[in-house]
Structure 1
Amino acid sequence: MKNVEKYTRGYFMPPVKSLKWTEKEYITEAPIWCSVDLRDGNQALVVPMTLEEKLEYFQLLVKIGFKEIEVGFPAASETEYTFLRTLIEKDLIPDDVTIQVLTQSRDHIIKKTFESLKGAKKAVVHLYNSTSVAQREQVFKKSKEEIIEIAVSGAKLLEKYAAETEGNFQFQYSPESFTGTELEFALEICNSVLDVWKPTADNKVIINLPATVELSMPHVYASQIEYMSDHLNYRENVILSLHPHNDRGSGVADAELGILAGGQRIEGTLFGNGERTGNVDIVTLALNMYSHGVDPKLNFENILEIIEVYERMTKMKVDDRQPYGGKLVFAAFSGSHQDAIAKGMKWREENDCKHWTVPYLMIDPKDIGREYEGDVIRINSQSGKGGIGYLLEQQFGLDLPKEMREEFGYTVKNVSDRQNKELMPEEIHQIFLNEFVNLSKPIEFVNYHFTKHDDYQTVVTVKINEEEQELNGEGNGRLDAISNALRTKLGVNYHNLVYKEHAQELGSESNAVSYVGITDDNGKVFWGCGIDVDIMTSSVKALFSAVNKLTANTHLTSKEGHFITSK
């Protein structure tokens, strides 16, 4: 690509080695979560949410389990001011939920911010100003000392107005554009603010370090966080918060490594909504922890309901490949993947499994309200016998023999290939019924009766070309007797009859299902299935279905009653 020389690395490494986070294997406990959907996320929407939509979204966040929710920038927008007042005046904020509001370091804005908070039981007041080299030089044209003065004066104003306003307030400071700020200067300005507020064990302060623009690989952000965590004043009384954006597509990795490096709190949004490429996706971050056996302290057990509200309120779409939430994230089209999943699920049924280890599935889809049917096994021309057989068994109670699954798998794949589309479960079921079940052409089963002497003797009535015939046969069992009648009286040549049966439970009904495989003189196996309320009748129908499959390329002479190979 052209112009590569115009780009450079605009971040800063810590002045000392900060790599203790590399010694940690995984996140052991959930951070404090703060949703910024209603502020950072909302400001990034093409059409911001209405008051009514924000109220519904707030209730969704509460239901999920967020205990800290940033509700807006009340001094900057009448809509956000009204929204905050509505939450307070209508007592819509649960006692265990803390709201958060954003403010710049300007007297009249801070004053109005505290006015908007009158009557709030508990609130975080979030002060910020930009600190990066680019912002200082290009936007504000101020020295480091002047930038520090903006932050310090804002911190003092927060103390002043908090003292004059009834309520319980916690302070938060963000050096906005932290990732483009020299680490020594970021530390200096944060410590200057902390020296104003002097946090205590009973009155902790939040220092929030935003990757306002993601400038580096995640390990760099982690080292920056560790450096700050190791050198902040009053560290034991500081809650270190992270606010990663996703410009390089690594927001989740930034957050995860940042937590290992000392981060205690995460600001983010559902499904990563936010400016440009968005904020860190809290759904992915939380469920990643869940997949390691760590309780995320957020409830995504009904993720489809959450997606419905999210998409309706934001007019955004959750991508089909979005981790955990997307329509296709658990889907397996590949035959080998489907076979492994089906065998893994079967293994779980047959063994006492404490932990989830099913191939290809990080978590059990059912734990977040997804279903195996339709969500996991998806059928197209790339699918295999294992997945197709698993779908028939799970949704329709049909447990095909292994060899029959292979034949039916090819049948389904050929249909999908010809139609160039994914096949839905009902379509696959219908293909099975049409191609294998209770087949009546060219030989239609009518009825039978048996007598028992040394062996079984039968008279089976069939219909061929609309003409009924009675065929006599005998054998060491009922099905063997009927099979011998078909072979000797009609001249159908096959051997090696394979048989399997099971009950099919569907709702309040129960049918008997039988499968029969027969082998022709060339060694090719033909399968048929019979379904009936009577187990013997289902077996006979399965045999007739298999025989009709075998005779698909033959015709029956009307005079002799024997099958002759067609030209």
Structure 2
Amino acid sequence: MLKQPQTKYRAFPPVQLEGRRWPDAQLTKAPVWLSTDLRDGNQALIEPMDAARKLRMFDLLVQVGFKEIEVGFPASSQTEFDFVRKLIEEGRIPDDVTIQVMTPAREELIERTVQALAGARRAIVHVYNAVAPVWRRVVFGLEVPQVMELIARHVGQVRRLTDAQPQTEWILQYSPETFSLAELEVSHQACETAITAWGAGRPIILNLPTTVENATPNVFADQIEWMVRQFADRPEVVLSVHPHNDRGTGVAAAELAMMAGAHRVEGCLFGNGERTGNLDLVNVALNLYTQGVDPQLDFSDIDAVRRTVEHCNHLPVHPRHPYVGELVYTSFSGSHQDAIKKAFAARREGDVWEIPYLPIDPKDLGRSYEAVIRVNSQSGKGGMSYLLESEYGLAMPRRLQIEFSQVVQRVMDRDGKELTAADLWQLFRHEYGLDARNVIQHRVWEAAAGDDGQRRVQLSANIDWQGAPCTVQGQGNGPIDAFASALSAAVGCPVRVIDYQQHAIGEGADARAMAYVELRLGDSPAFFGVGTDSDTSAAAMQALISGLHRAHAAGWATESAPEDAQCAVVVA
């Protein structure tokens, strides 16, 4: 790269536009959409679509809701010509859909193009020619008056040929190609020349393309507002834009152009097109949707749309592509996951959508929440707990989330790969011994009230401790307190329940209790235990045994406990 790029490149000059209004405009309705997937998008493919793929793409565009579709360049090949004829002759074009075809400003190509449209109910003939200085000077060797003469001649030819087929409702679309690089006065003169040749008062679309992005989007918005002012009192004129994405700002250019007064937008699904692509119509439409504007296009099954486009184009959609990519609703970052989890927990049905890091509800596009949070080495407790709650119904206490997240992090540091919800569930079951039924049998009966007059219960339980049977007995205010007392006697030190929580998983006959117990053995650190059973008391007892097993595995509550430990296991 050059150290002084100004010696080779020049900044595009700003537009001298007094009182510009577009910066304060707000988009409140959808534009007229034109899909160019079957023409501009198809031309950009390494392997252009065959008839079957083109037909599948056309059907998709109709299904999504496009009312104007550019179906091809019929003068370019027999394949393109035959496809247009197939749509017309087989009656595949719905009554509310208008097809468009494109032709350069050349006599023989215009004639062939109009022939392809014979019998169509309604059709748009798109004629274009380049008007920018470098094209006039270098490519065609024409002066401005010669360019205008060419426009008048070829648009006049389109009018004569289409007037000869009055059974079709004809609309002309004229594009001063390379508009974004041309002098505004020349582009305006070209459009006026086309209007005159087509016939004043007849419907006409003036399509203003950023054939090559050459400036920041605000400059394009100024160009569009300048043109809008020239045709403000011409109801027969529809101003259309056709942004490309050379600077990566095609979507921004389209949105600012709409704010500047453009009525119509051309582009492709997911931005296919020459070089860096055409405008991504899905992106613009869903940007409107997230602002509360109905885009008049239906992407409620966006994955099905993507699969069809990938099949037809033989090109993959990037996993980070806005709205549709595999990873665009996924957070790996722990802080992001925590914010998303809390917002989902706080949200109530009917609330305005306000979820951190998710500008749109994935369910509106047919996506599930399954992939919203995924766990890797960058994740935290929020992501892990969200997956276990959403997929397996676990509502873990916060301190348990912290404890188990450390277990998950050790596995991530060791293996260095993403953990799925199923992986996390398997790890959770293993860590807290959910596959072992620790309470074999228990019995609870009334005991005499204590000195404080509180009700007491007596409990006896047969448990399995480190592979050996053990009978424990205890007394307390309830079954859980009595079981903790029994375990205290068994291990020779107080088993103190710091926190106990329980909830149901499932409904009806399949419902099970999930119990979480946080306990200490003497002066040990806190350990969590988890238990599950159809009986709520049994679930709590299993959680206590689970905590004891984990304390034992950590070196507490054993014959070889740390020297300062206050208790050791007693197996009966």
TM-score grouping bracket, smaller chain normalisation: over 0.9
Q: Structure 1: how far apart are the matches of 2:508 and 2:134? A: 67
Aligned to 1:563: 568
Aligned to 1:367: 364
Unaligned runs of 5+ in 1: none
The answer on whether the counterparts of 2:552 and 2:558 sit within 8 Å (CA) in structure 1 is: no
Change (3 A) 1:466 1:49: same
Equivalent residue runs for 1:525-540 within 5 Å: 525-540=526-541
Equivalent residue runs for 1:43-54 within 5 Å: 43-54=43-54
Q: Structure 2: how far apart are the matches of 1:133 and 1:31? A: 30
Equivalent residue runs for 1:226-245 within 5 Å: 226-232=225-231, 235-245=234-244
Q: Which amino acid aligns with 2:510?
A: E
The answer on whether the counterparts of 1:211 and 1:243 sit within 8 Å (CA) in structure 2 is: yes
The answer on whether the counterparts of 1:272 and 1:279 sit within 8 Å (CA) in structure 2 is: yes
Aligned to 2:426: 430
Structure 2 counterpart SS, 1:169: strand
Matched, 1:134 2:130: no
Q: Structure 2: how far apart are the matches of 1:492 and 1:46? A: 75
Aligned to 1:481: 482
Aligned to 1:445: 439
Equivalent residue runs for 1:115-134 within 5 Å: 115-134=115-134
Aligned to 2:224: 225
In the TM superposition, what whole-angstrom CA distance separates every residue of 1:498-518 from its partner, at most 9, and x where no partner exists? Answer: 111111017973211111110
The answer on whether the counterparts of 1:199 and 1:205 sit within 8 Å (CA) in structure 2 is: no
- Per-residue deviation, 1:324: 0.5
The answer on whether the counterparts of 1:10 and 1:180 sit within 8 Å (CA) in structure 2 is: no
Moved more, 37-46 or 513-522: 513-522
Equivalent residue runs for 1:306-345 within 5 Å: 306-345=305-344
Change (3 A) 1:286 1:519: same
Q: Structure 2: how far apart are the matches of 1:519 and 1:199? A: 89
Change (3 A) 1:129 1:555: same
- Per-residue deviation, 1:469: 2.5
Q: Which amino acid aligns with 2:347?
A: R
The answer on whether the counterparts of 1:68 and 1:100 sit within 8 Å (CA) in structure 2 is: yes
Structure 1 counterpart SS, 2:443: strand
Q: Which amino acid aligns with 1:410?
A: Q
Aligned to 1:409: 405
The answer on whether the counterparts of 1:75 and 1:109 sit within 8 Å (CA) in structure 2 is: yes
Structure 2 counterpart SS, 1:563: coil
Change (3 A) 1:525 1:9: same
Change (3 A) 1:12 1:162: farther
Structure 2 counterpart SS, 1:45: coil
Matched, 1:356 2:350: no
Matched, 1:95 2:100: no
Aligned to 1:213: 212
Aligned to 2:496: 495
Q: Percent identity?
A: 41
In the TM superposition, what whole-angstrom CA distance separates every residue of 1:378-418 from its partner, at most 9, and x where no partner exists? Answer: 11121121222122111111111111111112221221221
Q: Which amino acid aligns with 2:363?
A: K
Change (3 A) 1:474 1:281: same
Change (3 A) 1:337 1:503: same
Q: Structure 2: how far apart are the matches of 1:481 and 1:189? A: 92
Q: How many residue pairs get matched?
A: 554
Aligned to 2:453: none
Q: Structure 2: how far apart are the matches of 1:67 and 1:122? A: 11
Q: Structure 2: how far apart are the matches of 1:121 and 1:503? A: 62
Change (3 A) 1:492 1:271: farther
- Per-residue deviation, 1:5: 3.4
In the TM superposition, what whole-angstrom CA distance separates every residue of 1:195-241 from its partner, at most 9, and x where no partner exists? Answer: 222343xx421000000000000000000001111113863221000
In the TM superposition, what whole-angstrom CA distance separates every residue of 1:329-355 from its partner, at most 9, and x where no partner exists? Answer: 111111111111111111113xx6531
Aligned to 1:179: 180
Q: Structure 2: how far apart are the matches of 1:278 and 1:498? A: 58
Structure 2 counterpart SS, 1:278: coil
Using structure 2 for the length normalisation, give the TM-score: 0.93
The answer on whether the counterparts of 2:491 and 2:569 sit within 8 Å (CA) in structure 1 is: no
Unaligned runs of 5+ in 2: 449-455, 561-566
Structure 2 counterpart SS, 1:544: helix
Q: Structure 2: how far apart are the matches of 1:507 and 1:431? A: 27
In the TM superposition, what whole-angstrom CA distance separates every residue of 1:102-127 from its partner, at most 9, and x where no partner exists? Answer: 01122221111111101111110001
Q: Which amino acid aligns with 2:114?
A: F
Change (3 A) 1:317 1:282: same
In the TM superposition, what whole-angstrom CA distance separates every residue of 1:105-160 from its partner, at most 9, and x where no partner exists? Answer: 22221111111101111110001001111111111011111111111111101110
Structure 2 counterpart SS, 1:88: helix
Structure 2 counterpart SS, 1:342: helix
Using structure 1 for the length normalisation, give the TM-score: 0.94
Q: Structure 1: how far apart are the matches of 2:245 and 2:258? A: 16
Matched, 1:148 2:142: no
Q: Which amino acid aligns with 2:111?
A: K
Q: Structure 2: how far apart are the matches of 1:506 and 1:279? A: 51
- Per-residue deviation, 1:462: 2.1
- Per-residue deviation, 1:520: 3.9
- Per-residue deviation, 1:447: 1.4
Q: Structure 2: how far apart are the matches of 1:245 and 1:6? A: 26
Q: Structure 2: how far apart are the matches of 1:460 and 1:16? A: 87
- Per-residue deviation, 1:522: 4.2
In the TM superposition, what whole-angstrom CA distance separates every residue of 1:400-449 from its partner, at most 9, and x where no partner exists? Answer: 111111111222122122111111111011111111243759xx432111
Q: Structure 2: how far apart are the matches of 1:530 and 1:199? A: 81
Aligned to 1:20: 21
Q: Structure 1: how far apart are the matches of 2:184 and 2:466? A: 90
